[in-house]
Chain A
Amino acid sequence: MNSVDSSQLMVNVEHLNVSFGEKQVVCDVSFEVKAGEIIGLFGISGAGKTTIVRVLTCQIDKKNWDGHIRITNLNPEKENEHAKILSNIGYVPQLEELNLYFDLTPMANIETFASTYGLKSKSAKKIAQELFSILDIPKDTWKKPLKKMSGGEKKRVSVAIGLIHQPKVLFLDEPTTGVDAAKRYEVLTYLKKLNRQLGTTMFLITHDMEAALICDKSAILRNGKLLEFETNDKLISKLPSKGLIVRLTIKDLNEEKINIIRGFVPIKKILRVGNEIIEIFMENFEENLQKLIQYIIENDLEINSMSRDTASFRRFFQIRIQDEEEKEKK
């Protein structure tokens, strides 16, 4: 396992603006990432996640962006530092069809990409074997053409290729897209495992809220703006009562009944999460819970079931985006 100085700053972005012509794609984004952290970049399509990563990976011309950026202490503004930056980072694109040699074996793919970092075949194979073991890629598939592997296996090979040169920072674009629900958590587990064992700083660009489970910090982007960048706990604690919720199943739930419930003053937010299920956020949760139940009963609403929980990151994301949309409407 690599020892990582977690105080070392791996990525520093200050006041990043990206525009293509008249269109501003990223507006005044700033964040810092320490070594060894896993960062999730969340946002709907067009939020600017991929654009930020493209700036960090030297894919966008300087004329299209401004700001102060350091990645592994190198400046992507300077063209002569691009090669060094690319040696220090790894990238795992979304679609395997577009970024792997399907007719070649996983080992042949490894050798090809490893050689670009100056790694000889022998060393590359040794590292690859370690990575394949961590990622549970079966040994009997190492010498078969990639096209004969399952989707999940291809994805893991792609991740291994991204890590072959032991980069300081690894960017993964939608690592769980196209993977079935059962395997999704597995992929995230592998990434966490790699992070712990290798100490690689990771950026996950994703729509999959489950990915937040392994992220040390999450960034939420909307329309090119960075709305939040914090640990998940801190984000959730921003919610009323630090994210405590009561989940109720109301018989024959409809909008009218929801409006009645909304009449209970301490309620800050009601989210309908199912046909008859709502989640309620309110101030002074412990104090007001009993009062809420009483209020509901008094209003002749039948509660079929009730539970209490802490809001998930998904819920926070939903609320945050909604709040932002409402703000924009006003």
Chain B
Amino acid sequence: MVNVKNNHSNSSKIREGIFSRLERRIFRILRQVKKEFQLMRTDKINLFIALIVPPLIIWLFGMMSTSASKVVPIKIAVVNYDSNSYINQDNYTIITTWDNYSKMYLEAVEKSKYIDLKEYYDASKDIYAMETARDKLRDGKIECIIVIPVEFSEFLTTGLPGIIECVPDTSNAVYIQDRLNAVEDSIDIFVEDNNLDPKYVSMEYQEFSIPSNYNFRFNYNMTMLFSFMVFGISTVLSILVVVQEKPIPRLLLTPAKRYEILTSKFLTYTIVLALQIFLILTSAILNGLYLRNGLLSAIDLYIALFMLGFVGLSMGIFISTVSKTKTEANQLFFAAFIVILLLSGIFVPLGSMPEYLQIIAYILPLSHGEPIIRGILSKGKSVVGFDFFCLLGVSVVCIFLSFVIIKRKRYEV
């Protein structure tokens, strides 16, 4: 016959035992969290750098973006061959005085707000005009040469297409498009002013764009910069937390468990991360960050940045767990950070990398940072999606590895 009373009291004792064990564990973890915060408070400068400096950087960047003038005229030299003789399609040399179109084009160049006409060379009078212009281009005194070819006016007059040649300095990829756009603007003005019909008029509709009262440059760049800033600051916050805590071996001679110590660190730095993200986001919004869906986008963005930061935090704690010395942790951090940055797609497009590198890039967190943020900011997408789950997966792997390593790590007093 089963003794029900005994069984009942046994199982309640077991339940009590389990709860008291759980309570004790939670109590120990929370106390460790308190210790972490106490340690953090002793280094106020560090806290200041972690919490205040990133929003300050964003504020400075916002200020620069807003004060940067929208239009930067391109320094241009025009070399005009149009007054010279030219060879027509029947291979006859014809000398004409038709150069009226070149004069009109020159006016259009001067009218364009995207062009700052620095030099004009009449190649019919100066045979070294092009060389001189090229020298100036080489020395950086001008950014583009516009060449009006010898048959420009003649072709236009006889119904053939008029070609404007341009020689932009393409050594810096960042400015190439601006230079081409400036020349194109002068052509548009020329065509408009001289009623060169028929024209092909483009009607532009920008979807997912930033409203005109927001700074496009700031918003566009923040999409990219958010991810690597948040990831960087969260990783660096945590790379020394395990390796520099000397009393850990003594702590392990108490009932404190290794996983409790690590859990308390995760909890503590997650709270700090949450505060960091809040401050960064607030600074960005105050500096003109556009949120397509208002509060909803703000929440989505907060979650996205938090997730990115959490990946950084997990990687930082992993690095701290695996390193033997602080210098080693530091070096590992930099190696990892720079590899992740290079494979993020910010400086080198992911599509240009070999397939196996692309696979590695997709495992790393930063390649998901920019798409997830851009999706939220410009397209009003939800934070939950493929990129979010990739980030979550990376965090989980780093957390798991950290716990495994600390379990096996040898601590001796």
Question: B-contacting residues of A (Cβ < 8 Å)?
Answer: 54, 57, 59, 83, 86-87, 89, 91, 93, 97-101, 103-104, 108, 111-113, 115-118, 120, 145, 165, 173
For B240-257 the 0/1 string (1 means CB < 8 A from A) is 000000110111011110
> What is the minimal beta-carbon distance from A177 to any residue of chain B, in angstroms?
14
> What is the minimal beta-carbon distance from A8 to any residue of chain B, in angstroms?
22
> What is the minimal beta-carbon distance from B148 to any residue of chain A, in angstroms?
73
Flag if A173 contacts B31 (CB, 8 Å): no
Chosen A-B contacts, 8 in total, with CB atoms closer than 8 Å, are A59-B413, A87-B254, A97-B246, A98-B250, A99-B246, A112-B32, A116-B31, A118-B27
Q: Which 10 A-B pairs have the closest CB atoms?
A: A115-B31, A103-B42, A116-B254, A99-B250, A116-B256, A112-B35, A91-B253, A93-B413, A98-B246, A99-B247
Flag if B39 contacts A101 (CB, 8 Å): yes
The DSSP consensus for interface residues of chain B is helix
For B23-56 the 0/1 string (1 means CB < 8 A from A) is 0100110011011001100110000000000000
What B residues does A165 contact at CB under 8 A?
254
Flag if A59 contacts B253 (CB, 8 Å): yes
Q: Which chain B residue has the least Cβ–Cβ distance from A113?
A: B254
What B residues does A59 contact at CB under 8 A?
253, 412-413
What A residues does B254 contact at CB under 8 A?
86-87, 113, 116-117, 165
User: With A89-B253, A98-B246, A118-B24 given, can you name 16 additional A-B contacts, CB distance below 8 Å?
Assistant: A57-B253, A59-B412, A59-B413, A86-B253, A93-B413, A98-B250, A99-B246, A100-B247, A100-B250, A101-B38, A103-B42, A103-B43, A104-B39, A104-B42, A108-B38, A116-B256
Cα distance, A93 to B400, chains bound together (Å): 31
B38 contact from A104, A120, A173, Cβ within 8 A: A104
What B residues does A117 contact at CB under 8 A?
254-255
Asked, given contacts A101-B35, A111-B31, A112-B32, whether A86 binds B249 with beta carbons under 8 Å apart, the answer is: no
> What is the minimal beta-carbon distance from B278 to any residue of chain A, in angstroms?
26
Cα distance, A118 to B255, chains bound together (Å): 9
What A residues does B32 contact at CB under 8 A?
112, 115
Cα distance, A111 to B42, chains bound together (Å): 16
Cα distance, A103 to B43, chains bound together (Å): 9
> What is the minimal beta-carbon distance from B141 to any residue of chain A, in angstroms?
58
Flag if A173 contacts B413 (CB, 8 Å): yes
Flag if B39 contacts A87 (CB, 8 Å): no
What B residues does A97 contact at CB under 8 A?
246
Flag if B35 contacts A99 (CB, 8 Å): no
Cα distance, A165 to B254, chains bound together (Å): 10
Q: Which chain A residue has the least Cβ–Cβ distance from B246?
A: A98
Flag if A93 contacts B250 (CB, 8 Å): yes
Asked, given contacts A86-B255, A99-B246, A99-B247, whether A91 binds B42 with beta carbons under 8 Å apart, the answer is: no
* CB contact list, B104-120 vs A, under 8 A: none
> What is the minimal beta-carbon distance from B30 to any residue of chain A, in angstroms?
8
Cα distance, A104 to B32, chains bound together (Å): 13
Interface centre among B251, B253, B412 (most CB of A within 10 A): B253
Flag if B28 contacts A116 (CB, 8 Å): yes
Cα distance, A118 to B29, chains bound together (Å): 11
Asked, given contacts A57-B253, A101-B35, whether A115 binds B42 with beta carbons under 8 Å apart, the answer is: no
Flag if B247 contacts A91 (CB, 8 Å): no
What A residues does B255 contact at CB under 8 A?
83, 86-87, 116-118
Cα distance, A189 to B248, chains bound together (Å): 29
Flag if B31 contacts A99 (CB, 8 Å): no
What B residues does A83 contact at CB under 8 A?
255
What A residues does B246 contact at CB under 8 A?
97-99
What A residues does B247 contact at CB under 8 A?
98-101
Asked, given contacts A83-B255, A86-B254, whether A99 binds B28 with beta carbons under 8 Å apart, the answer is: no
Q: Which chain B residue has the least Cβ–Cβ distance from A104?
A: B38
Cα distance, A89 to B38, chains bound together (Å): 27
Cα distance, A86 to B249, chains bound together (Å): 13
Q: Which chain B residue has the least Cβ–Cβ distance from A112?
A: B35
Cα distance, A21 to B149, chains bound together (Å): 87
What A residues does B250 contact at CB under 8 A?
91, 93, 98-100, 113
Q: Which chain A residue has the least Cβ–Cβ distance from B250?
A: A99
Q: Which chain A residue has the least Cβ–Cβ distance from B412?
A: A59
Q: Which chain A residue has the least Cβ–Cβ distance from B21?
A: A83
Asked, given contacts A116-B254, A118-B27, whether A104 binds B412 with beta carbons under 8 Å apart, the answer is: no
> What is the minimal beta-carbon distance from B322 to any residue of chain A, in angstroms?
20
What B residues does A57 contact at CB under 8 A?
253
> What is the minimal beta-carbon distance from A65 to any residue of chain B, in angstroms?
15
A108 contact from B35, B253, B413, Cβ within 8 A: B35
> What is the minimal beta-carbon distance from B204 to any residue of chain A, in angstroms?
60
> What is the minimal beta-carbon distance from B63 to any residue of chain A, in angstroms?
36
Flag if A115 contacts B28 (CB, 8 Å): yes
Cα distance, A267 to B80, chains bound together (Å): 122
> What is the minimal beta-carbon distance from B38 to any residue of chain A, in angstroms?
5
Asked, given contacts A54-B412, A115-B28, whether A99 binds B249 with beta carbons under 8 Å apart, the answer is: yes
Cα distance, A108 to B41, chains bound together (Å): 12
Interface centre among A54, A101, A113, A116 (most CB of B within 10 A): A116
A112 contact from B27, B31, B253, Cβ within 8 A: B31
Cα distance, A87 to B254, chains bound together (Å): 6
> What is the minimal beta-carbon distance from A200 to any residue of chain B, in angstroms?
16
What B residues does A145 contact at CB under 8 A?
42
What A residues does B34 contact at CB under 8 A?
111-112
What B residues does A93 contact at CB under 8 A?
249-250, 413
What A residues does B249 contact at CB under 8 A?
93, 98-99
What B residues does A100 contact at CB under 8 A?
247, 250
Cα distance, A198 to B166, chains bound together (Å): 94
What B residues does A120 contact at CB under 8 A?
27
What B residues does A111 contact at CB under 8 A?
31, 34-35
Cα distance, A111 to B27, chains bound together (Å): 12
Interface centre among B42, B249, B251, B254 (most CB of A within 10 A): B254
What B residues does A113 contact at CB under 8 A?
250-251, 254
Cα distance, A124 to B175, chains bound together (Å): 67
Asked, given contacts A59-B412, A118-B27, A118-B28, whether A104 binds B35 with beta carbons under 8 Å apart, the answer is: yes
What B residues does A115 contact at CB under 8 A?
27-28, 31-32
What A residues does B31 contact at CB under 8 A?
111-112, 115-116
> What is the minimal beta-carbon distance from A103 to any residue of chain B, in angstroms?
4
